[in-house]
Amino acid sequence: MAAAYDVLIIGGGPGGYVTAIRSAQLGFKTAVVEREHLGGICLNWGCIPTKALLRSAEIYHYLQHPKDYGLIVEGKIGVDPAAVVKRSRGVSAQLNGGVGFLLKKNKVDVIWGEATITKVGEVSVTATKKSIMQPQNPVPKGILGEGTYQAKHIVVATGARPRILPGIEPDGKNIWTYFEAMVPESFPKSLIVMGSGAIGIEFASFYHTMGAEVTVVEVLPQIMPVEDPEIAGLARKQFEKQGIKIRTGTKVTKVEKTASGLTATLEDSKGATSTLSAEKLISAVGVTGNIENIGLEKLGVKTERGIVVVDGFGRTNVAGIYAIGDVAGPPMLAHKAEHEGVICVEAIKGLHPHPMDKSMIPGCTYCQPQVASVGLTEEKAKAAGYEIKVGRFPFVGNGKAIALGEPDGLIKTIFDAKTGKLIGAHMIGAEVTELIQGFVIAMNLETTEEELIHTVFPHPTLSEMMHESVLDAYGRVIHM
């Protein structure tokens, strides 16, 4: 007889395992089907290990500039690529084990294998045929594996994979996706990064700091296309000042292997072509949802452009089938997937949660300098018909930023001039990925400029710039 569950989640990434834990907390008998590694791409090959790599790069950067801080560092300063990668993989392995512990603690069953929804309320699991994430260890074998499982509610949380452009297929040697870029045997001396979203820019920042000559190629006129143009422009200036080359309005049309690496043919917006040679190329042109071979087509689940169509509660057009996270569409971020999963199972329970509001999902890029944002850009606010007030405050006017040796950056806030509602916040500079959450909370609480102006911010902190930016929007800035 097939095992029966109230909720069965396909995929054990951030969205999947968080959904499972919340489901169990709500009293549902819950299971997760995972094909290879708990924690998914984010924990094993994305968010977490890249931050470990970037931390190594950050420390290496400081070691190269000791005099800026009145320090003396004697002897040769170098990089051990194998040790850098080993630390990164170790961080992932530690957290991977933590996810398993949390699922066990919450009495969530983990079923190892590949899942297919054979009909509404039924999932068939077969042994994993091929790893897609290059696991360090063999696919784990658990008590639960191949078989047929019944579930009243099935949540698809299968995530996404790198998008591949025709004719520029990664080969694992010269052309990399983020999989290969995270575990190099050695660091290349020259690198082309195709795409300037968060993934591309983070790798460009990492490899440049580690000594590579880096060129970023972006087909759109602006790097970091989802960011406020003013912030993206400041980021570009900082990257180019560091020595990163940037080609916008340009696409890679062909890549040819050479004895020393590869040569890419570039075409700009006017049709002019040129070539660029490097040891490696990282393809970072986005991701596409893993919607194939799950059984969605046979069930008639509606999909569009590689993602599953859902409402604000993760419900598809087929009763009993849900989708969350990357497979349910942008923004393809781990924290969006986690919150989306919680909303989904709470709605199943009948708790009446608020539907997902994508306008309040923060985005963070952990390059040097960091970039973070939430809500509407100035451009989009105007296009939406808002009469706006915009405030700005530079890092150079903040005591803590100067003391840290991080005077380059900007905090920008956007308000609805009629109501005082905060509708957007955009930042570039040191630790802004930590600061942004203050504005996210403010937006969720429907905070106006009055509450923010009368809030006391501690001194000396970087957060004071958030206050000053609000003051600037209303003509009351103090330290500028």
What residues act catalytically? 459
The string of DSSP letters for 402-456 reads HHHT----EEEEEEETTT-BEEEEEEESTTHHHHHHHHHHHHHTT-BHHHHHTSP
> Which strands form 190-194's sheet, in the order they lie side by side?
175-176, 280-283, 190-194, 213-217, 245-247
Beta bridge partners of 255: 264
Burial classification of residue 143, based on how many CB atoms lie within 10 Å of its CB (0-12 exposed, 13-18 middle, 19 or more buried): exposed
Cα–Cα dist 194/93, whole Å: 29
Residues 236, 209 contacting (CB under 8 angstroms): no
Residues 6+ positions from 76 with CB-CB distance below 8 Å: none
The string of DSSP letters for 76-117 reads -----HHHHHHHHHHHHHHHHHHHHHHHHHTT-EEEESEEEE
- Smallest Cα–Cα separation from 10: which of 28, 27, 32, 30? 32
Strands 190-194, 280-283: pairing is parallel
Neighbours of 239 (CB within 10 A): 24
Tokens of 426: 């955009």
Neighbours of 418 (CB within 10 A): 10
